[in-house]
Amino acid sequence: MNFLEQMPWPDVTAKMKVVPAAILPIGATEQHGPHMGCGTDTVLADKLCKAVSEKTNVMMLPTMPYGCSIGHSQHWPGTIALQPKTLIDLIKEMGDWAYHSGVKKLFIVNTHVTNAAPLRCALEMLRAEHDDLMVAVLNSAKLSERVRQFHFTDGDDWHANDAETSLMLSIAPEMVNTYAFDIADDPDRTYGLVFSHPVNRTSKNGVTGRPSVATKEKGDEFFCWMVEDLSELILRGLTEQAPLSKPYSN
């Protein structure tokens, strides 16, 4: 058993003596165009990390269903967003409690792009306070070069695109409305821009990319890659030590 919510505290204690590490999946609740459910990022985080937890024998903490999605604006309903400072505080406090439960290596797995900056801030705070805690932020779209390529094929500012739609067709087909594919495609309008604009000023329907070309077969392959590549990173992390052993304070 590797899922914290299913484990009584003596089992958590025993688990930490064997593998003092944990995976913390971070998703989001936000619009994903006219063709996909608003929980897409959370479902991906949950299913990906469950598969990796079983593969690596690392305990998984409950999946966080909210993230920093304020860039999606209030134009489309369904987005439930946290401010960046709120997400920083939440992850810092969750990390503190995980540490006091015995976690010495925390793998934060992020499936929503704009969670990355707040998560990095929380990482800085956690490692500064807990000298013997190692923290990694692993962004799902950039786990490896092959994973990065399939995410970015139809846009640098991709969202609800071929990759995400293919993944959902594979792992949660009930969340995809294929009848909306004909109206879903929308190009990336961010090339060459100096400023970072909210999604309602770059997309007509909340999509950036080509979900119309998505297939379950591609999603099956992509998801296997993500499980393999995230598992490899976590297994490497389990044996990693700091290059130098000097304490943080001096």
Q: Using one digit for the tens of pLDDT, what is the confidence trace for 106-118? A: 999 999 999 999 9
Using the predicted structure, report yes or no on whether residue 103 has a pLDDT greater than 90: yes
Helix (H) or strand (E) run with residue 110 in it: strand 105-110
Helix (H, G, I), strand (E, B) or coil at 196: coil
Alpha-carbon span 33 to 121, nearest angstrom? 29
Q: Give dist(CA 164, CA 157) in Å, integer.
A: 13
Number of C-alpha atoms within 13 angstroms, CB side, residue 45? 29
Q: How confident is the model over 153-169, as pLDDT tens digits?
A: 999 999 999 999 999 99
Instruction: Give 119 or 183, the one with higher predicted confidence.
Output: 119
- The tokens describing 203, both together, are 């997309």
Task: Identify which of 50, 54, 61 has the alpha carbon closest to the alpha carbon of residue 12.
Answer: 61
Distance CA 51, CA 228 (A): 10
Can you give the pLDDT at residue 246? 85
For residue 182, the model assigns a pLDDT of 81
Say what the pTM is: 0.96
The per-residue pLDDT for range 5-44, each reduced to its tens digit, is 999 999 999 999 999 999 999 999 999 999 999 999 999 9
Percent of the chain with pLDDT over 70: 100
Annotated domain spans of the chain? 4-239
Query: Which residue do the tokens 């994903």 mark?
Result: 32
Q: Is the pLDDT of residue 172 over 90?
A: yes
Q: Is 232 exposed, middle or buried (0-12, 13-18, 19+ CB in 10 A)?
A: middle
Query: Which CATH architecture describes the domain 4-239?
Result: 3-Layer(aba) Sandwich (3.40)
Residue 203 sits at the vertex; the CA angle it makes with 199 and 208, to the nearest 5 degrees, is 95
What average pLDDT score do residues 198-206 get?
A: 96
Q: Is residue 202 within 8 Å of residue 190, measured between CB atoms?
A: yes
